[in-house]
Structure 1
Amino acid sequence: MPFGRSALGSGSGSGGRAMGAGGQRPLSDINVTPLVDVMLVLLVIFIITAPLLASSIRLDLPQTDAGQPNEEPRFVSLVVDAKGAVYLNDEPMDDAQLAARLTQAAADDRNTEVQLRADQTVPYGKVVQLMGIANKAGLSRIGFVTEPPAR
């Protein structure tokens, strides 16, 4: 037997095909690249879902009738048209009537919201005056209603 060669690895016809071209042994290592890809995808999925799972704490909360979550929020609609006329829930009002009705609404529920709709041409001073009337009546929640721009 020559130095460094086995009987199977010689260039003769026995086993030359199983050894591959050039007489080298076939590689028996596992290709880990797809395994690493799958593990990285799973790691990203776990990183994203872990905060969602951590916030699901099961509690046995006490029961009370103090605040019902299904109650509709109360609001009054305050409108100022282009001429400066004031309407409360679609009824025309002067400043004294408005103050009385807003005081009544505040007495019924202090969390009543005033939804203020004002025409673009209404002076800023008139809007501030109405906000002051609502604030003096005890209603501090004022929302400005707008329209989205035309496309």
Structure 2
Amino acid sequence: MAMQTTSDNTSGEPMMDINMTPLIDVMLVLLIMFIITIPIQTHAVKLDLPVDQPNTPPPPIDPVKNKVVITAGGQILWNGTPVQPEQLRQYLELSQQIQPIPELHLQPEPEARYELVDQVLAITKKAHVEKMGFVGNEAYMKF
């Protein structure tokens, strides 16, 4: 119940204001019912996953994996042997002609100069290397 205790109503006249409490109560109940009846939104991504068939032969496993290491001293190593950038590009172009194409593992040392790593990445792009991976990224993790 609403009660007015101001000095305006000294003559005992009835109040002409609407009691807002029941209106607010009804609105709150309706709001809660509306929230409860809203369906839960699910964020799902539909994917067509490949089905494993036991009769299909496994994909060919390539034993050749070429590794390019960029040292902190500024050397480029092709499978452990120091090479110049021109030799690296020739080796990469030759490796892309082998079927199946061997993987290229790029492993820059943590202290290697970014300029040299960028140069090697540009060489691999010009040689159209198709299968490439970065090896040793865990060395850059900071705990």
TM-score by length of 1: 0.49
| Equivalent position SS for 1:108 | coil
Q: Percent identity?
A: 24
Name the structure 2 match of 1:128. Answer: 118
Q: 1:112 aligns with which of 102, 117, 122?
A: 102
- For structure 1, which segment, 124-133 or 81-90, has the greater mean C-alpha deviation from structure 2 after superposition? 124-133
Q: Which runs of 5+ in 1 are unaligned?
A: 1-54
Q: Give how far 1:56 is off.
A: 8.0
- The superposition leaves residues 52-107 of structure 1 with CA deviations (integer Å, 9 ceiling, x where unpaired) of xxx98989x6x7xxx86242364210001110100101111001111111111011
Q: State how far apart, in whole Å, the 2-side matches of 1:110 and 1:58 are.
A: 23
Structure 1 residues 56 and 96, CA gap change in structure 2 (3 angstroms): closer
Name the structure 1 match of 2:37. Answer: none
Structure 1 residues 150 and 88, CA gap change in structure 2 (3 angstroms): same
1:17-96 to 2 correspondence within 5 Å? 69-72=59-62, 74-96=64-86
Q: Which runs of 5+ in 2 are unaligned?
A: 1-49
Say if 2:73 and 2:112, in contact at 8 Å, map to a contact too: yes
Alignment of 1:98 onto 2:91: no
May I ask how many residue pairs the two structures share in their alignment?
92
Say if 1:79 and 1:87, in contact at 8 Å, map to a contact too: yes
Over aligned residues, Cα RMSD in angstroms? 3.2
Q: Which has the larger radius of gyration?
A: 1
Say if 2:72 and 2:113, in contact at 8 Å, map to a contact too: no
Structure 1 residues 70 and 125, CA gap change in structure 2 (3 angstroms): same
Q: State how far apart, in whole Å, the 2-side matches of 1:74 and 1:106 are.
A: 12
Structure 1 residues 83 and 107, CA gap change in structure 2 (3 angstroms): same
Say if 2:62 and 2:100, in contact at 8 Å, map to a contact too: no
Q: Which has the higher contact order (CA 8 A, sep 6+)?
A: 2
Name the structure 1 match of 2:131. Answer: 141
Q: State how far apart, in whole Å, the 2-side matches of 1:90 and 1:72 are.
A: 19
Q: Which amino acid aligns with 1:95?
A: P
Structure 1 residues 136 and 68, CA gap change in structure 2 (3 angstroms): farther
